[in-house]
Amino acid sequence: MPAKGQQTAPDTLTVTNFQGILRHQLFLSAGSKVVVAFSGGLDSHVLLHILSRIATVYPISLSAIHIDHCLQEESGQWAVHCQQVCDGLDIPLVIRRVDIIQQRGMSLEAQARDARYAAIADELPAGGICMTAQHLDDQSETVLLQLLRGAGVHGLAAMPMDKPFNNGKLMRPLLNYSRKALQQYAEQHGLQWVEDPSNGDNRFDRNYLRNVVIPLLQKRWPGLNRSLSRSSR
C-alpha cells in the first residue's frame, strides 16, 4: 500500500482531483488557515490559482506570502507582479524582504531557502498551514542531490508531502504532479508568471541536475521521475 499522500499521480491537474488530494490524502479541514508561499513563478502561481478556485466551494482561509530575497535586480518587479496577481484573485498578500549575507561553507541557495522559511514561519498564524509548490520533478532533483551527498535512508526519503512546521504544518500538495502537468494547467487558464534567470545558472547543483543531468537520464529512462518518487517512499 502506498504511504499517506503518495498515491500514483494523475496525469492532468484539475480542481476536482486536486481537491481530492487536499481532503483525502492531506486531510485539510474546513476553516484551515492556508498561506501559500508565492514566488510569482509558474509552480506557485498554479498552486495559488487552483486553491483560489477550491476556496469558493470548500471553506478555507486563503492568503499568500512573497519573499523578496533581493538577490536579483528584477526582484522588485516580481513583488509588483505578485501583488497584481493576488489583487486579481482577491487574495491577501504579505511581502517580506530578507537580506542574505553569504557565509563561508554555505551555498547561497541553502541560505536563501533558510531565510525564506524563517520569514514564512514569522507570518504563519498558530495552527496555520504553509503550502509550497514543489512538484514531482523537484522531488527527483532532491533525491539525486541527497544520493550524491551520501545521504542515508532518511535523506533519500527526500521531501514529505506534509510535516510539522513552526506552530502549524507545511504541505506540498503538488508533489505527485509533474512540471508538465502544471504548465498545461497554467496555459489552459492563461496564467502569466515570472522567470528567475538564476534558474539557468548551472553553477548551482540543483540547476545542473535539472538542466543537464536529468534530461540525459530521461532519454534513456523516460519514467525516471516516477521511479525516483517510488524510491523516495
What is the value of pTM for the model shown? 0.89
C-alpha cell at 153: 535512508
What is the spatial distance between Cα 155 and Cα 153, in angstroms, rounded to a whole number?
A: 6
What is the spatial distance between Cα 54 and Cα 41, in angstroms, rounded to a whole number?
A: 20
pLDDT at 1 over 70: no
Residues contacting 146, CB < 8 A, separation 6+: 155, 156, 158
What's residue 5's pLDDT?
41
pLDDT tens-place string over residues 76-117: 899 999 999 999 999 999 999 988 777 776 777 778 888 899
Backbone angles phi, psi at 137, to 5 degrees: -65, -40
| Listed residue (138, 51, 60, 122) closest to 89, CA to CA | 51
Q: CA distances (Å), 208 to each of 26, 211, 227, in order?
A: 32, 5, 20
pLDDT tens-place string over residues 5-35: 444 445 789 999 999 999 898 999 989 999 9
Q: Three-state SS for 144?
A: helix
